[in-house]
Structure formats: structure tokens, C-alpha cells
Amino acid sequence: SRSVITSLSEANDLVEAIGSDIVGIALDSYHVWWDAALPQQITRAGERLFSVQLADWVTPIHGELSSRGMPGEGCIDMTGFVADCRNAGGYSGLVEVEILSDRWWAADPKDAVNAAANGLAAV
């Protein structure tokens, strides 16, 4: 509801049109996981993948931006997503766990960090 770029294909188009080595893509699993063309678009993004972020899709959604789950809590194939970024896209940077979640914000910080670390380790 707040973005004019609604797919990785559109992001690729924009980055290619700009044509600068310092402009790239922060790819967040939460926003693209359902795209049938995702593997091909990750390959297309290639070296323009500057950041890979993980957040799982957990239902029911309670808040548009605050219902994300730790990796492994929802339905996204996190292992496949990261593998596509690494293998097809050639991404070699850090993978970030980015959880915007009322549930996890209310949790003990140690529990949240442990859940993020465990989820990332499983990927």
C-alpha cells in the first residue's frame, strides 16, 4: 500500500534504467515470496542484489507491517530463497533477519534473538 515498486521485475527494470553501480536491490523475502517468476528475477538481479532480508509469512496477519515471523515460522521456503540468491543471483553478502512483529517486539529480547539465530541457522 506504500510502494510504487511491487515486484522484483519492476525493481530490476528501475535499477537497469538508472544504470549506476551504486544502485541496487534490497530483496526481502516477505515482499516477494509468492512471485512465480522470482527465481528468474533473482538471476536477472545478479550483482545488483545488495541486501537479502528474511522474514516469514505467518497467518493470520494482524498488522500490515507488524505480522512477520522468524525464518521457519511460516510458509516461505527460506532455504530455497537464500539458495536462489546465492546460486542464481550470485549474492555473497550477509543475510539479515528483519522481523517487524508486534509479537516479537513484546517478547523478551533474549528470546527474540535466540529465535532469529535459530531460524537463520536452519536456513
* Mean pLDDT within 105-109: 97
At 10-65, the pLDDT tens digits run 999 999 999 999 999 999 999 999 999 999 999 999 999 999 999 999 999 988 78
Pairing of strands 56-57, 68-69: antiparallel
- Residue 92 contacts residue 86 (beta carbons within 8 Å): yes
pLDDT at 2 (0 to 100)? 66
At 65-84, the pLDDT tens digits run 899 999 999 999 999 999 99
Hey, what's the cell of 80? Answer: 530455497
Q: How is 51-98 classified by DSSP, letter by letter?
A: EEEE-EE-SS--SSSSBEE-TTSSS--HHHHHHIIIIIS---S-EEE-
Task: For the domain made up of 8-122, give the CATH fold.
Answer: TIM Barrel (3.20.20)
Longest dimension (CA), the chain: 44
**What are the sequence ranges of the domains in the chain?**
8-122
Task: Note the pTM of the prediction, 2 decimals.
Answer: 0.92
Confidence of residue 4 (pLDDT cuts 50, 70, 90): confident
pLDDT above 80: residue 120 = yes
Handedness of CA 82, 86, 90, 92 (dihedral sign): positive
* Mean pLDDT within 85-95: 94
